[in-house]
C-alpha cells in the first residue's frame, strides 16, 4: 500500500499501523492478566500495579517504534541491564516485585520484536509465560516454604545451646507461629539484647523480615 507523505515524512502507513495496534492489544491483554490476575491479588500494591503497567506500555512502544533503526537486540539488552539494577529511592524493590518487573519487560520486548512470528506463535509464547507464573504462584506444594525473620531478643539468658528448647518456646509464644529452628547472632551485653534469626514455615516473605536494625523514631 502506497504511503501518504508530507515533507518527505510518511503521514500514515496502514500496514504498520495495523501491526502496531494488533501487537499492542496482544501485549496489553497478556500483561493485564499477569498484573491483575497473578500479581495484584497477593500483593495488593496499587503503586506497583501502576508502575508495572506504565513500564510495560513504555517498553513495548519504544521497542516497536525503534525496531526499524536496526538496534533491536542491543537496545533490548540495554533495557534489561538498566531495569535489572533498578532501586527506588524510597525503598529497595522486593525480590518478588523485581521478578515481575523483569518478566513484564521480557513480555513487552518479545511482543514488540516478534513481527516475523505468526500471531498463533506470539499468543502461545505469552500463554507459556502466564502458565509458568501461575505454577510458581499457585501450585500447592510451592506455596509454603521456610521463611526468615530477624528478631531483636531481650532474654539473653536463653541463648545457651542447652536452653534452645526454652528459647524456641518463648519465641513461639510471643510471635504466634511455629518455629522450625533459630540462629543466634550478635549479642549486646550492655543492653541485654541479642539478634536472632527465626526460621518458620509461611506462605510469603517480605523485605521487612530482613531488616537488620530498627529505624530511628523521632
Last residue of a domain, one of 142, 163, 187: 142
In a domain, 15, yes or no: yes
Q: Is residue 108 classed exposed, middle or buried when 0-12, 13-18 and 19+ CB atoms within 10 A define those classes?
A: buried
In a domain, 98, yes or no: yes
Residue 35 and residue 106 in one domain: yes
Q: How confident is the model at residue 115 (pLDDT cuts 50, 70, 90)?
A: confident
Which grid coordinates belong to 71? 538496534
How far lies 16's CA from each of 36, 59, 141, 157, 179, in Å? 29, 18, 46, 73, 59
Last residue of a domain, one of 142, 175, 202: 142
* Sequence-separated (6 or more) residues with CB below 8 Å from residue 128: none
Residue 25 and residue 133 in one domain: yes
Mean pLDDT, rounded, for 86-109 = 74
Per the CB < 8 A criterion, the answer to whether 27 and 111 are in contact is yes
Residue 21 and residue 107 in one domain: yes
In a domain, 217, yes or no: no
Residue 129 and residue 152 in one domain: no
Residue 83 and residue 158 in one domain: no
Cα–Cα dist 204/115, whole Å? 38
Query: How many residues are given for the chain?
Result: 218
Per the CB < 8 A criterion, the answer to whether 64 and 112 are in contact is yes
More confident residue, 35 or 5: 35
Our count of domains for the chain comes to 2
Predicted confidence (pLDDT) at residue 29 exceeds the cutoff of 90: yes
Q: How confident is the model at residue 6 (pLDDT cuts 50, 70, 90)?
A: low
Residue 200 and residue 136 in one domain: no
Check: pTM over 0.75? Answer yes or no. no
Could you tell me the residue range of the domain that residue 72 belongs to? 4-142
In a domain, 215, yes or no: no
Residue 105 and residue 13 in one domain: yes
pLDDT, mean over the chain: 78
Residue 188 and residue 152 in one domain: yes
% of residues, the chain, pLDDT over 90: 18
Segment holding 89, helix H or strand E: none
For residue 35, give the DSSP letter.
I
In a domain, 216, yes or no: no
pLDDT tens per residue, range 125-183:
999 999 988 887 776 655 566 778 888 899 888 989 899 999 999 999 998 888 888 99
Residue 127, pLDDT score: 92
Residue 58 and residue 76 in one domain: yes
Residue 90, pLDDT score: 47
pLDDT tens per residue, range 48-80:
888 889 888 888 887 787 765 545 556 556 655
Residue 111 and residue 59 in one domain: yes
Last residue of a domain, one of 142, 161, 178: 142
Residue 28, pLDDT score: 92
Segment holding 9, helix H or strand E: strand 9-12
Predicted confidence (pLDDT) at residue 46 exceeds the cutoff of 60: yes
Residue 87 and residue 179 in one domain: no
Residue 89 and residue 28 in one domain: yes
Amino acid at each position: 500500500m502506497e504511503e501518504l507523505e508530507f515533507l518527505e515524512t510518511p503521514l500514515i502507513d496502514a500496514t504498520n499501523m495495523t501491526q502496531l495496534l494488533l501487537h499492542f492489544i496482544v501485549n496489553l491483554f497478556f500483561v493485564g492478566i499477569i498484573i491483575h490476575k497473578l500479581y495484584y491479588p497477593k500483593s495488593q500494591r496499587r503503586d506497583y500495579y501502576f508502575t508495572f503497567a506504565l513500564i510495560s506500555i513504555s517498553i513495548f512502544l519504544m521497542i516497536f517504534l525503534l525496531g526499524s533503526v536496526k538496534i533491536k537486540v542491543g537496545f533490548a539488552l540495554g533495557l534489561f541491564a538498566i531495569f535489572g539494577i533498578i532501586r527506588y529511592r524510597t525503598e529497595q524493590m522486593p525480590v518478588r516485585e523485581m521478578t515481575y518487573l523483569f518478566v513484564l519487560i521480557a513480555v513487552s520486548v518479545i511482543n514488540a520484536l516478534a513481527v516475523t512470528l505468526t500471531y498463533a506463535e506470539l499468543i502461545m509464547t505469552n500463554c507459556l509465560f502466564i502458565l509458568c507464573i501461575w505454577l510458581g504462584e499457585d501450585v500447592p506444594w510451592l506455596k509454603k516454604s521456610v521463611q526468615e525473620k530477624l528478631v531483636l531478643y531481650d532474654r539473653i539468658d536463653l541463648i545457651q545451646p542447652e536452653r534452645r528448647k526454652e528459647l524456641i518456646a518463648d519465641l513461639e509464644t510471643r510471635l504466634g507461629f511455629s518455629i522450625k529452628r533459630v540462629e543466634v547472632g550478635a549479642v549486646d551485653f550492655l543492653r541485654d539484647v541479642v539478634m536472632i534469626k527465626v526460621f518458620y514455615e509461611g506462605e510469603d516473605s517480605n523485605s521487612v523480615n530482613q531488616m537488620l536494625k530498627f529505624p530511628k523514631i523521632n
